[in-house]
Structure formats: C-alpha cells, structure tokens
Amino acid sequence: MQLDRATGWFTGVSHCPSPNFNARPEGEAISLLVIHNISLPPACFGTGKVQEFFQNRLDPDEHPYFATINHLTVSAHLFVERDGAVTQFVSLLDRAWHAGVSRFGEREGCNDFSIGIELEGTDELPYTDAQYATLELLTREIRAAWPVIDAQRICGHNDIAPQRKTDPGPAFDWPRYRAALQRNEDKA
C-alpha cells in the first residue's frame, strides 16, 4: 500500500470512485486527518453497503435505516474494513464530503483541508488489530506527503463536529494509535 503523490490514489488497495467529491478550493493545503466510523446497517460488518452508500447506489427499501440516509450524498477518501482491507473512494488531492459542518481551531469547513478515513465500526465496539495496523500504515503515507499533519492535526469527527457527531467513539483507542505513530517517528 503506497500513496502516489501525483494522483492522490493509493496503490495496493481497492478503488471504488465516488461521485461525491469536488476540487479543493484553489491554493488550499491539506493539513488535517479526520478519523470516522461507519457500518451499514449499523453494527453490521462486511456488507458492502458502505461502498454502495458512497456511490449513491444504496437501496432505501433494503433496510429501514437505509431509507433514513438514502438522500445524503457523502463520501470519504478511505474506508478500512474489519480485516484491514482498504477501499479508496476519492483522490486525496480532491475534497471528499466526509466532515459536513465542522470546525478545527478557528477554521470552518474541514472538508476543504482534510483527509477523511472511515473505519468500519461503531462508537461502542472495539476496532480490530488489523484496522489499527492499516490505519497506522495509511497515516504514515499521508504524513510523509503532508508533514504538517502532526499529532495535533489528527482528530476524530467528534472533535470537529462535537454537536453532531460522536465517532470514532469511546471504542477507538487513541493512546494505542498515537503510540504507534510515535514509535514510527522515533525510528525515523
């Protein structure tokens, strides 16, 4: 798994292009990484429904929950499944629609300057070892391309939209993730 910095696409992952993206504002630098969670239906894993959702192909009649979200046009750059498999929906160079109404520090509209990674999960269920390992690899590649994304510029969706969002939730082990990133920095 390696980032092609010229295109913003990772090699060695599945590509499932989403129509839900646009260009970043001219001159906007990528400077934030946002961690999310998603599962469709909620708490059901390995269904392929996240891919359908981010491609606007979710059947609203298939599950009652789908009818409540079918009108949304959202995406993320990357999705990490429970087994660590990665699907990329949007080039990292483009603006994915993952953060919604959001604020980081004094800046609003985090989609303009962030990369969004969705972990297959819920706020309450522990994430897998494979997901942490993959997230660490993705983060390492992203930080190599955009060194401004230091530990203080990696956050959860709940941090940038606290009135609306709770993910990645209390089940996400921030100390574990940050320690793994620190170990990588110490080796460099």
Catalytic site residue 118? yes
Query: With b meaning 16 or more CB within 10 Å and e meaning fewer, what string describes 131-158?
Result: bbebbbbbbbbbbeebeebeeebbbbbb
Residue type at 68 in one-letter notation: T
User: 28, 118, 141, 185: which one is catalytic?
Assistant: 118
Strand segments (E) across the chain: 2-4, 9-11, 14-15, 21-22, 32-38, 78-80, 86-88, 95-96, 103-104, 107-108, 114-120, 154-156
| Catalytic residue numbers, as ranges | 118
